[in-house]
Amino acid sequence: MNRSLTIDTLLKEAALFSATESAHNTPALFGVTDGKAVGTYLEQKFVAHLMKYFAGGNSASGIDIPSIDVDIKVTSIRQPQSSCPFKSARQKIYGLGYNLIVFVYEKTDNSRRKTARLDIQHTIFIAKQHTADYQMTRGLREIMEHDGNAEDLVAFMRDRNLPVDEIEANNLAAQILREKPEQGYLTISNALQWRLQYGRVMQQAGTVPGIKRIA
């Protein structure tokens, strides 16, 4: 019988997987330059690695590991970013709604052997409470710490081009006054899909709450 997957188990297995994968040569990725193809390869391989613990998720139907609210992100060290579905502008303030595990790799090809290697240079877990946008949450928190009111919050959200109308901005301001957002550590760019950038979490992993360096 499969054991239940937990966050602690996930982190241990991710560390083991990263070390093993970094030493593995594969012909399947030789010459592949499409980052999405590399990401899909690594995501599927990690999920397969975890199958001994859980029934598995389906990235086409939502997050990769729904049983523990974790989505897997894979990105190149050359441009550490990825996309995720846009659900609500609130995600930029209160987080994506799920945890992230991020594998940051450097790919090298061996032309003689016609194989590729993914050296996983960073493996980072981001708790869902801290998956909001860094500058957005920092600014809103500072306004509250300086006795700001709803008008100040709405003005700041407009200045930061948060994709909301006036009614939603006022609703958000009222919620923020009741429920101070946690500090986020992602950089989230506005687009039809959120564009998540991981430079800051790579720098601060292990030094701030909710951002763990696994490997």
What single string gives the DSSP state of each residue in 35-94? HHHHHHHHHHHHHHHHTTTS----TTTS-SBGGGTEEEEEEETTS-EEEEE---TTHHHH
pTM: 0.91
88-97 pLDDT per residue, tens: 999 999 999 9
State the angle between helix axes of 134-145 and 150-159 in degrees (0 to 180), rounded to the nearest 10: 160
| Three-class DSSP category at 143 | helix
Q: Which pLDDT belongs to residue 193?
A: 81
In terms of Cα–Cα distance, which of 64, 215, 205, 203 is closest to 130? 205
Q: Which pLDDT belongs to residue 60?
A: 47
177, 140, 80, 17 alpha-carbon torsion, rounded to 10°: -40
Q: Which pLDDT belongs to residue 66?
A: 87
Domain ranges of the chain: 7-86+95-133+184-213, 134-178
List helix spans (H) across 61-188.
Answer: 91-94, 134-145, 150-159, 166-178
